Amino acid sequence: MAVDVSLELVEDRGRIITLVEHAKAPELGIEVVRGERSVERLGRYAAQYALLVE
């Protein structure tokens, strides 16, 4: 599962979001993204991520 890999790789759990693991998010200490899924929205998240890793 992608969340498991993220938890291993990212020390700060506040930087991890999930689109699908809503039930497990609170126990894992990660954020949930809710709302309508769209290519545009995914593009915005990708652009935000790119700014963080520059």
Mean pLDDT by 10 residues, the chain (54 residues): 91 90 92 85 89 82
pLDDT, position 41:
85
pLDDT, position 13:
93
pLDDT, position 19:
84
DSSP track, 18-44: ESS-TTTHHHHT-EE--S---HHHHHH
pLDDT, position 24:
92
pLDDT, position 37:
79
pLDDT, position 1:
77
